[in-house]
Structure 1
Amino acid sequence: MKTRFLKIAAAAALTAAALSPAAMAQDVTLKVHHFLPASSFAQTLLIQPWCDKIAKESNNKMKCQIYPSMQLGGSPPQLFEQARDGVADVIWTLPGYTAGRFPSIEVFELPFMMQSPEATSKALWDYVDQYAKAEFKDVKPLAFHVHGDGVFHMTNKPIRTAADLKGLKLRAPTRTTNKFIALLGGTPVSMPVPQVGDALSKGVIDGAVVPYEVVPAVKIQELVKFHSETDPAEPAFYTATFVFAMNQAKYDSLTPDLKKIIDNNSGQALSGMAGKAFLQADVEGKKMTTKNTTNVISKSELENWKKIGQPLTDDWVADMNSKGKNGKQMLDGAKALIAKYSGGK
């Protein structure tokens, strides 16, 4: 009887141990989905380091399984929905791929808004917190950021003035940039980055506007002959916004200690780091274009472009006003935040 009692007690103790919070806490694997190759700077400089950091801080209780190149299915414009619906646990994408869905943050995609990707990315995080939370209520944002200066990558001739764009078909990432290219005299063609290589090789487009960091992912240096930059002393003629976001239900399911690790590795600091990483990636991407011809569009020409692009800013303010918001206040707020993190420049 005594032996039987001891066996029952031992079994009960084992059951209790198995039901304890520590034992019930399971290792977590986050499915991370994005649209660029595994070799892309987005993965090697942002996504993978983030995953490595949360794994280290959680003693490998929380890890990532990264799915590049849309390996979980769907198309780049569907990534935000995948994070919302739990198809993926974490995604990295451009809000601009779903035109008009995130109008408040398009202020950062207006012509000549961005000069420092790091400062502008920090500003973007704060701006969303102040003005655009509702647009991202269906996910848990981890970071918002922008990339470095946009560059014209052309197959047959460089761009020196707006007149050089006449009659040319150019890929652009967002509806704002599409409108700007049209105002400058070109014919915009909207498409996600993964389609750019095929479109260039088949002559569907005459060029593409992307930052240098995209070059290796698409092998742009092999598909074009000319790279036209804007004067580096001037703000970029365009930039695009990005979101790194998590499925809210997945975050809510984490234990408090794992939630804390996510919280400690998201926000303004991560946003700024992402902007800085993409600037570093531009330097690396540009190195791959040395066999081609590069020119710089002059400051005097860009002054003309600023005048041409002003209606886009006016239209954005009017659009915000029509939605019951204060467009001028939002525009001024974005500029003030950029100035704040740029050291008041």
Structure 2
Amino acid sequence: MKIELYPGGSLVSGGEVQMKLVLDGVADIAEIPLPYTPGRVSGLDVFELPNMAQSNSDGALASIALIDQGLIGGMGDLIALGMLQSGPYYIHTKDEIGSLDDLRGKKLRVSGQTQAQIVSRLGAVPVSNIPATAMAENVSRGLIDGALVDTGNLYNFGVGDLLTYHVTNLPLGSFAVLFGLSKAKYDTLPPESQDAIDSVKGDWYTTVLGGNMDKQTQDVVARLEASEVHHFVTLSDDDLARADRVLSQVTEKWVAKAPENAAILEAARTALGQ
């Protein structure tokens, strides 16, 4: 079996078109950022909720578990080779913060409705429609005070040396990326090719992806720790209890969106060992 790669969007660029590429047969496999096509695959947005996954690996493997259990909608024409749950997202700011009260009125870049709800509940001001690649410019121009970012991508997005205060103990959701294979294409493959795919898809593929992302996060944390300008913020127990109270409303709102969401949330927490 031969796989021809088109890296860096060289076939067609843009996260919002990757799902369509696979479904239209333009590509057989794509790295699909699911929040860019909301509603097409349902249920995996449970991991966007606060206080869920604690690392890339546990969120991604829990996602595969939910897919295998048949709890995730919209997967009928796709095969999940593997998953990433980029995250968890944390609050990173350019100015000093030490408590939830310090977030009041601060403008934080967010991605998607769930993050916007989270930031609003915490007393900050969510700012949407800023691409990740434009975060650094917006911080430098004073248009935002910080962002919800997964720590491993701080330097990839150019804000590693601009945002110097990092909350470490309030995980605020993850960003799902599906490595999806067209089921129509899979069905045309000879048995030996299908066997080869079956031998690596799911847990193995996802474990490798998650391990690489977790290593990237560890490397970034070590780089921040080695710098004298970066500060790690541990919120107090009182602040965490307060955050739990206000953020539970975000979870409750998500559960109420669809009749199956309560079961999906329970299954996700079970898969995460919660």
Taking structure 1 as the reference length, the TM-score comes to 0.70
SS at match of 2:82: strand
Cα 1:215/1:101, change in 2 over 3 Å: same
Q: Letter of the 1:309 partner, please give it.
A: L
Instruction: Determine the structure 1 residue equivalent to 2:216.
Output: 281
SS of the equivalent of 2:30 reads strand
1:78 maps to 17
- Out of 167, 175, 183, the position equivalent to 1:229 is 167
Output the CA distance in 2 between the equivalents of 1:335 and 1:73: 36
Asked if residue 335 in structure 1 is aligned to residue 269 in structure 2, the reply is yes
Aligned pair 1:255/2:193, yes or no? no
1:115–1:149: 8 Å Cα contact kept in structure 2? yes
Residue of structure 2 equivalent to 1:15: none
SS in 2 for 1:135: coil
Q: Which residue of 1 aligns with 2:114?
A: 176
- Residue 141 of structure 1 aligns to a residue whose secondary structure is strand
CA 72–171 in structure 1, closer or farther in 2 if over 3 Å, else same: farther
Post-superposition Cα deviations, 1:264-292, rounded to whole Å, max 9, x if no partner, equal 12112322332222111101223443433
Q: How does 1:97-246 map to 2 (within 5 A)?
A: 97-155=36-94, 157-190=95-128, 191-222=130-161, 224-231=162-169, 236-246=171-181
| Residues 203, 136 of structure 1: alpha-carbon distance in 2 compared, 3 angstrom cutoff | farther
Distance 1:136 1:192 in 2: 27
Q: Aligned letter for 2:66? A: Y
**Aligned to 1:311, what secondary structure does the other structure show?**
helix
SS in 2 for 1:62: coil
Tell me the SS of whatever aligns to 2:218: helix
- Matched residue, 1:44: none
Contact 2:50 2:247 in 1 (8 A): yes
Structure showing greater radius of gyration is: 1
Q: Secondary structure of the residue that 1:242 maps to in structure 2?
A: strand
Amino acid at match of 1:67: P
Is the 8 Å Cα contact of residues 148 and 239 (structure 1) preserved in structure 2?
yes
Q: CA separation in 1, counterparts of 2:196 and 2:236?
A: 45
Q: Match of 1:109, as an amino acid? A: E
Deviation at 1:122, TM superposition (A): 1.6
**1:125 shift after superposition:** 0.7
1:267 paired to 2:206: no
Measure the CA separation in 2 of the matches of 1:225 and 1:74: 28
Question: What CA distance in whole angstroms lies between the structure 2 residues aligned with 1:313 and 1:76?
Answer: 26
2:231 counterpart letter in structure 1: T
User: Which residue identity lines up with residue 235 of structure 2 in the other structure?
Assistant: S
What is the CA–CA distance in structure 2 between the aligned matches of 1:299 and 1:266, rounded to whole Å? 41
CA contact (8 A) 1:146 1:242 kept: yes
Residue-by-residue CA offset, 1:134-180 (whole Å, 9 max, x unaligned): 3222322211232343232323x133322222222222233212210
Is the Cα–Cα contact under 8 Å of residues 99 and 236 in structure 2 kept in the other structure? Answer: no
Residues 180-219 of structure 1: per-residue CA shift (max 9 Å, x gap): 0111122223344334334334444222211122123222
Aligned partners of 1:168, 1:227: CA distance in 2, in Å?
13
For residues 244 and 270 of structure 1, the distance between their equivalents in structure 2, rounded to whole angstroms, comes to 9
Aligned residue in 1 for 2:235: 298
| Higher helix content, 1 or 2 | 1
Q: How far apart in 2 are the matches of 1:128 and 1:116?
A: 19
Bigger RCO of structures 1 and 2 (CA < 8 A, at least 6 apart) = 2
Q: Which runs of 5+ in 2 are unaligned?
A: none
Aligned positions, number:
270
Amino acid at match of 1:139: L
Change (3 A) 1:62 1:203: farther
1:308 shift after superposition: 0.9
Instruction: Look up the equivalent residue of 1:282 and give its one-letter code.
Output: T
Matched letter for residue 189 of structure 2:
L
- Aligned amino acid, residue 181 of structure 2: M
CA contact 1:119–1:338 (8 Å) conserved in 2: yes
TM-score by length of 2: 0.87
- What is the rounded CA distance, in whole Å, between the counterparts of 1:220 and 1:249 in structure 2? 41
The residue type paired with residue 3 of structure 2 is K
Q: Which AA in structure 1 matches 2:233?
A: V
Tell me the alpha carbon deviations over residues 309-336 of structure 1, each in whole angstroms, 9 at most, x when there is no partner: 0011111111122xxx3x3322211111
Structure 1 regions of 5+ residues with no counterpart?
Answer: 1-60, 340-344
